[in-house]
Amino acid sequence: MPCKNKSVAKPDFQDPNTKKAKRIAAIFYLIVMTFVLGGTLWHQHMNKQSAVPNVQKEF
C-alpha cells in the first residue's frame, strides 16, 4: 500500500515561499512606482505654478 504522506516536489509557481516572495516583490514594485509617478506629477505641477507670472497691481 503506497504511503499518502510522501512529499512531492512542487513546481516553482506553486511553492508557498515563492508565492510570498513574488507578492512582496510586487507590492514593493507598486510602492516604488507610485513614489516615482507621484514625484514626477508633483514636479510638473510645481513647474506649471512657477511659470505663471506674479502680477502685482500698482495703484
Distances (CA, A) of 21 to 2, 32, 35, 44, 54: 34, 16, 21, 35, 52
Q: What is the pLDDT of residues 8-28, one digit of tens each?
A: 666 666 788 889 999 999 999
CB neighbour list of residue 19: distance below 8 Å, 6 or more residues apart: 13
Confidence (pTM)? 0.56
Those residues with Cβ within 8 angstroms of residue 13's Cβ, 6 or more apart along the chain or in another chain: 19
pLDDT for residue 57: 64
